[in-house]
Homo-oligomer: A and B are copies of this chain.
Amino acid sequence: MEKRHNNRPISLRQFQAAGGFWKEKMELVRKEVIPYQWEILNDRVEGASPSFCMRNFKVAGKLMCEKREKGADYEEPAYTFRGFEALPEDMDHLEDRFYGFVFQDSDFSKWVEAVAYSLVSHPDPQLEQTADEAIEIVCAAQLENGYLDTYYIINGMDKSFSNLKDHHELYCLGHLTEGAVAYYEATGKDKLLKAAMRFADYIDSCFGAEEGKCKGYPGHEIAEMALVRLYEVTGEERYLNLAKFFIDERGKRPYYFDCEEEVKQTDEERYQYYQSHRPVREQEEAVGHAVRAVYLYSGMADVARLTDDEQLKTACRRLWNSIVREKMYITGAIGATHIGESFSFPFDLPNDTAYAETCASIGLVFFARRMLEMEPDAVYADVMERALYNSVLSGMALDGKSFFYVNPLEALPEACHKDERKFHVKPIRQKWFGCACCPPNLARIISSVPAYAYSENEDTLFVHLHISGTITKQVGDQTAVFEVESGMPWNGNVSIVYKGEQPVRMKLAVRIPGWCEHWKADGLENYACTEEKGYYVITGEWKTGSRILFAFDMETRFYQADDRVREDYGKLAVMRGPVVYCAEEADNGNNLHLYEILPMHPVLESEVMVNGEKYPLLSVSARKKVTTKPDQQLYVKYRKPEYETAQLNMIPYFAWANRGENEMAVWFNKAEEN
């Protein structure tokens, strides 16, 4: 029942990791995050606020039992609203009620999705059994008609679909579907997939363009891309059509959310947060809640590709450009303001008050991958790589045990503690969150990273990210096998060896990273090579043992921001390969702002231990202002400053805040050089 389109991500089954940077991260997720998350889902972590997630499914399941037993005598609960997060009055005496956030079901779905990816790379019968049992519990909660959101099942179905704007039922459908498809693809087991299909079918029977059907759409997007995924794995066009309906309906006047709330027709501003202020094809600027935005754009790109909708493709490109040309931090972070967890206006990218949510960068990676599926162009992969190595990985501690929601580019612990404008910025990662979106999102993206690194069409294997492992690909009825050994992100040597038993004629399209100015490739004597949209396309017959060697120059580079980014004006950031570097107090002392980079001077490379592992340490030539004994006056007449020669020691940005609270900055003043 599978139907493949052009240039699709490889299936995780086609990839076998063989050590290297990402393998380690995947292992961390497998060993630390997934088991911990399961404990969280079951409220078994001392000190963590309970999730109630599995508990809610059990309570709903129990109600379903009762309903079946009692038949017509069963009395449906009548809905009462108990808050966006319903907490028990007495933790020691929980009732058979719904607890937690309205979207708490999705915690399970994200977990099972990560489990699925992990099982492909690392079969684990015990974990699979745990997942199977969890799936039983979840499916037991489903209503006869297919509905499956415990919030309303327990609280009262009379109000289901009555608050699409804020109550996340369609969001829960989306995550459930993503988890179900992944689990089916990983294990071949379709129990959860069928449950997701039944839920989707039920929603399809309620929503749609046909007369009498609801004209609503998700308040928090994700169902769009999830339904496309369901379509792609089942081939059932109704799921694609439903995704398209949600996308087409969004932002039409009168606003559905106005009608739902029975408020007067409101203005655009009210719904920017939800990206429902205008029909999506008329949206020109990325606005509102950043996670919702990139989830929507991902769904739009999916639908545009599958329906070959040029207008929708144009809208996707425009929104993409709005983000990456005007609203993205150098780390790939998005969402410049914590107010509404939103995009700010163009070029407003403050480093110290950024929201820069981990999930938003993950969503940007989703969007990038889908743009790549729509049209292979390395500009999308460049951003995908930027986000993955920087703002996404920054979301997790090096030991996989604590997490950031917010990934600022500058942090001063005193400000985080004392300045309410920065209370959202934490100087160290937190254990887990009541609203647990970022950690499980990290788990699912990291364990599926090979599917972002490689994609394929009939005769081409695309290498977007150069990550180590063995990739197999069917070309007609032949099986091509490539072994990639990559030094990324620490060095630019990438060897690609053909390991297939039979020779295969096909193309290999290897991305030339946008950050790389000089590179060479060896072993191409027998191939025709062209450069196409940032990919080096190697065409020819691959024979066992054929070996290509890429050497991407990876010198340290200094970056400046567009002059319109006021917060970065006159400043420099440091990158080496795809990795953004930052300086921490631990390596430099405090008052980091007194350092000024000398960009024409040499950079020394060495190593530093962080969390028991070696990481590159860049010692950037700098000068540091000599501060004399402080004046008693805040403002004194200008005196020509004195500087001392200094080294600014920088570590990879994603590794920051692993040595306790301390100052950190990415952007530094540039000293003038002649």
Contact = CB atoms under 8 A, between A and B. Distances in A.
Contact of A634 (B339, B565, B631): B565
Nearest to A580: B635
Nearest to A344: B419
A418 B560 CA distance: 25
Interface stretch (A208-216, A460-468, A490-498, A569-577): A569-577
Interface string A542-569: 0000000000000001111111111001
A613 interface: no
Nearest to A560: B638
A19 to B, nearest CB: 31
A353 interface: yes
A627 interface: yes
A415 B345 contact: yes
A593 B566 contact: yes
Interface in A166-182: none
Nearest to A638: B558
Interface stretch (A55-63, A103-111, A322-330): A322-330
Contact of A345 (B348, B419, B637): B419
A47 interface: no
Given A420-B339, A569-B593, A672-B672, A559 B635 contact: yes
A570 B562 CA distance: 20
Interface string A618-643: 00000001010011111111111000
Given A324-B634, A326-B634, A345 B418 contact: yes
A503 B673 CA distance: 66
A434 B638 CA distance: 42
Contacts of A633: 324-325, 562
B419 A337 contact: yes
A599 interface: yes
A340 B423 CA distance: 14
A325 B419 contact: no
A560 B353 contact: no
Interface string A583-594: 000000001011
Given A325-B633, A594-B569, A421 B560 contact: no
Contacts of A541: none
A637 B418 CA distance: 36
Contact of A637 (B420, B559, B562): B559
Given A414-B345, A669-B570, A325 B632 contact: yes
A591 B570 contact: no
A565 B558 CA distance: 26
> Which of A558, A635, A670 has the largest number of chain B CB atoms within 10 A?
A635
A74 B635 CA distance: 62
Contacts of A325: 632-634
A667 to B, nearest CB: 11
A349 B337 CA distance: 19
> Which of A321, A326, A637 has the largest number of chain B CB atoms within 10 A?
A637
Nearest to A346: B414
Given A345-B415, A345-B419, A634 B599 contact: no
Contacts of A670: 638
Given A345-B415, A563-B594, A337 B634 contact: no
A671 B671 CA distance: 10
Contacts of A639: 560
Interface in A377-411: none
A671 to B, nearest CB: 8
Interface string A406-435: 000000101100111100000000000000
Contacts of A671: 672
Contacts of A570: 570, 596, 669
Contacts of A594: 563, 569
Interface in A329-361: 330, 337, 339-340, 344-345, 348, 353
Contacts of A673: 640
A415 B633 CA distance: 31
B561 A330 contact: no
Nearest to A634: B562
A37 to B, nearest CB: 33
A573 B517 CA distance: 41
Nearest to A563: B627
A342 B329 CA distance: 30
Contacts of A630: 562-564
A569 B564 CA distance: 20
Contacts of A344: 418-419
Given A345-B415, A599-B638, A631 B569 contact: no
Interface string A68-92: 0000000000000000000000000
Contacts of A337: 419-421
A421 B352 CA distance: 13
Given A337-B419, A559-B638, A561-B635, 8 more contacts: A324-B634, A326-B634, A344-B419, A560-B635, A563-B627, A569-B669, A570-B669, A573-B635
Interface of A: 321, 324-326, 328, 330, 337, 339-340, 344-345, 348, 353, 412, 414-415, 418-421, 517, 557-566, 569-570, 572-573, 591, 593-594, 596, 599, 625, 627, 630-640, 669-673
Which 7 A/B pairs are nearest by Cβ-Cβ distance? A672-B672, A558-B638, A345-B418, A339-B420, A559-B635, A330-B635, A560-B638
10 contacts: A325-B634, A337-B419, A345-B419, A557-B638, A559-B637, A559-B638, A560-B638, A560-B639, A561-B634, A569-B593
